[in-house]
Amino acid sequence: MFKLAEATDIRQWDSDASKISITGLGDELPSDLKNCDIINQITCNIREISAAPINSVHDPKVTNTFLNKAAIISGIKLVGLNLNPFCKHKLDNDGWGKPVSLELLNEWHNAI
């Protein structure tokens, strides 16, 4: 669970997060995280960013809302970041699109 507090690979993070056993009994958190609601708030917004294009017709304004919430909660300043490379991938109306090219993936990696 500790490694879910930070995401460097969204697909791996999502895969790992979905493997957490949920008993319906309010699983006990590690003591370090018991009073850390901020992690829950951040991760919920991050999951919504990845799920929004899949669950409905993609609306960039919705994704932007979740991104801004996650940024504000985590204290990350988006101003000054070059986010243009992330706008180059176009989704179809069903939330999916063509596979991301290696060239574009490299642009994303270099923008971070």
Q: For residues 36 and 12, give the distance between their C-alpha atoms in angstroms, rounded to a whole number.
A: 22
Mean pLDDT score, 72-96? 77
- Per domain, the residue ranges of the chain are 2-20+31-111
In this model, does residue 108 exceed pLDDT 80?
yes
Average pLDDT over the chain, rounded to an integer: 76
DSSP 94: T
Q: Where does the pLDDT of residue 4 fall: very low under 50, low under 70, confident under 90, or very high at 90 and above? A: low
Mean pLDDT score, 21-49? 71
In this model, does residue 87 exceed pLDDT 70?
yes
Give the SS3 label for residue 16.
Answer: helix
Is residue 41 within 8 A of residue 73, CB to CB? The reply is yes
**Phi and psi, residue 36, nearest 5°:** -120, 65
In this model, does residue 85 exceed pLDDT 80?
yes
Mean pLDDT score, 21-44? 69
